[in-house]
Structure 1
Amino acid sequence: MNLLAIPARLSCLDATFEAQFKARLHWSADTDAHIEQRVADILADVQQRGDAAVLDYTARFDGLNAASMAELELTQAELKAAFESIPAAQREALQAAARRVRTYHEAQKKASGESWSYRDEDGTLLGQKVTPLDRVGIYVPGGKAAYPSSVLMNAIPAHVAGVGEIIMVVPTPRGEKNALVLAAAYVAGVTRAFTIGGAQAVAALAYGTATVPKVDKITGPGNAYVASAKKRVFGTVGIDMIAGPSEILVLADGTTPADWVAMDLFSQAEHDELAQSILLCPDAAYIDAVQEAINRLLPAMPRAGIIAKSLSDRGALIHTRSMEEACEISNRIAPEHLEVSSREPHRWEPLLRHAGAIFLGAYTSESLGDYCAGPNHVLPTSGTARFSSPLGVYDFQKRSSLIEVSEAGAQILGPIAAELAYGEGLQAHARAAELRLATVPDMRKPQ
């Protein structure tokens, strides 16, 4: 196979670096106008016709004809049978990954997902009540690829959070069901599962139909139609994020075998032609070695064509002046996956502020995080790690403020609230606070 993967070779020493760097990073989240209109039509149709519309679109887009939605629902017995049908090695791997993901999210819940309260000096109680969502929907991609790991990463934190019902939707084109995905649903404790996908599945979850229950939040990745649908139903339901193409940034000091780093760059490039793989390194000779490894290893990869296009169109090998500068550039990129492939990863980690997940040390390949390390692999992309976080237990909970003001506290807080309320011209707000004072002031006249 005669394929070339030539990532852009950039240098921070070059006067044109900034322009080249920005051009290489550019990606637009805007969806094609035709897709947006088609999705709007599908959502409206499902909202109006419910199950009938979902059946029509499933037949049209997935080639799966069903007389009723009951035929598209997977029973718990089917999920269990799928689990029992896969090879023992796959069963054990699923269960081991699920245990690690569950353990991590249980620790996360303990650290950041519990209710709390305190009383101040006058006896007023203040706090926060944390409660789980009642019902969530998880979208699992089908078609070109199947992702049992996505089932674990979405369903398990929802379970740990205490969500009562977890509804999974997964397209099965032409009725082809992936046993590993169904087995993962069984291991993760999915409540109900439907073999539907696309914008129609998002609509069914968001609005509810006679068969598909309306959920409170939808999580999980999908294609452009799914992403557009999730954007449009936000507000009716919550969503996790609008994900862009997959990304990896390797921050290397030149001590990791070049083949390892080349394969780590491949690990994201093989997802999709739009995926982005970037290397930052202060050692020019090491960058040469990585490029050589890319050329040598690429022909043997089953998805070589996708990798080659991804690396050539969006990849970059960037020569920096120092590791410190590499860290600064990493913070500007705010990557989804950040590998610190260094002999001293903990030296550089404090300098790194923005990343979906940080993988420390040469032995911590990003792929371990995708499957079984424990932390969630649903991560912010396209620079959104500057302000958002990985999917977690907290995404399946909501918080209510708790306020119980004592009689003594009302004497302290009442005048403060009244003063500010009068300043805003809200007389009823002010009087509501003043009526609880031991000595009630006369009604003030508006200024």
Structure 2
Amino acid sequence: MDFVVRRQGRGFSSMNFFSWCLSSSSSTSIMSSLVHFLLLLFASLVPCPVIFCSSEINNNNNLGLVNQTFHPHQEVHKLRTIRTRLQQINKPPVKIIHSPDGDIIDCVVSHQQPAFDHPMLRGHKPLDPPERPKGHDKREMLLGEKFQLWRLSGESCPEGTIPIRRTREEDLLRASSVQRFGRKLPKPVRRDTNTNGHEHAVGYVSGDEYYGARASINVWAPSVANQYEFSLSQIWVISGSFGDDLNTIEAGWQVSPELYGDNYPRFFTYWTSDAYQATGCYNLLCSGFVQTNNKIAIGAAISPTSSYNGGQFDISLVIWKDPKHGNWWLEFGSGILVGYWPSFLFTHLQDHASMVQFGGEVVNSDPSGSHTSTQMGSGHFAGEGFGKASYFRNLQVVDWDNNLIPLTNLRVLADHPNCYDIQGGINNVWGNYFYYGGPGKNDRCP
């Protein structure tokens, strides 16, 4: 690779430049400065690996550049890999919308979205709306479709297209792995103490056949300690043996600096059919989820959000299995269909779910033994109640006959209750509900 140094419009080729360095009486000093400059330039362009960031910078307060070698050919290969991946993800837009938060929203023709790269969907078009679950409460009309920052300008995508948040080069450069960009790391889902850095406060039901779930989820903007951690609140629809064949469908909101490059809470979806190993992804970052709505961008920032001792904002989500075709559909608010996960993506979920979970999850990446300060929910414990703690309300499941029904056996569990906790309840207005969350690191959670 040639490094070209330009000054006042004049350029030196790499060979001329290095020849000049070697012929100079101060060649040793100049070459030392050049190497130092290139190392700093390289460090500024490429994100830190997790171990390097945590052990060298956080604990030792030095850059630890010993044994760090600059490999131009490897960097060229990485950039080519990134550009190939971007071509796979980003589809040609018919309209481009610039969001106030810096996002670029591409309006892509519906049948050209990433889902239709899947061999079993090529040549297909999005399906017509399915039969809704019976018992949906239509009185809960929320903010309609304008709950995202990109819609505040009044811009929208034309009929026959869908809005897709554009993935940019810096998004992949920020990722810990280009190959696994848009995917969660393989991890256990069973709620026990062996969580591999993933910590939860959840309500769940099991022991029956479930064909969907519904909840209203309180939206906050929790603080996340570093780029490699996240905080989310979501619904999990789960089936499988909690081994390599685990199937999940997930939807909710998340704050993920690594994935999105900021600390906004964002509406997201996820799926996997093999316990997060090789299948599935966030949002529309792989072939899978088929979006049918032209006014909601999956992965875009949510606005407004809740404030401590102030206004509260929640989003209602329904996930259910279409009785006719067997696909799993996602609805936002009252009647706004977002899209569906085709049944063929799954093994166990081709039939039904065996567990439904609601609640929060954070990642604790601190290797030093002390706990992360990443917040869950509002960053306050469940005992503080309405306006202070985060909540899920109106929890329901869908039965075999496509009915939304209340929960009869909700259990609540927190992996580390001194860091994040949960308290459940039931009343005539909210039905089944719970408060949950916490600050992470505190006097009881060192």
* TM-score, normalised via structure 1 length: 0.25
Structure that is richer in helix per residue:
1
* TM-score, normalised via structure 2 length: 0.25
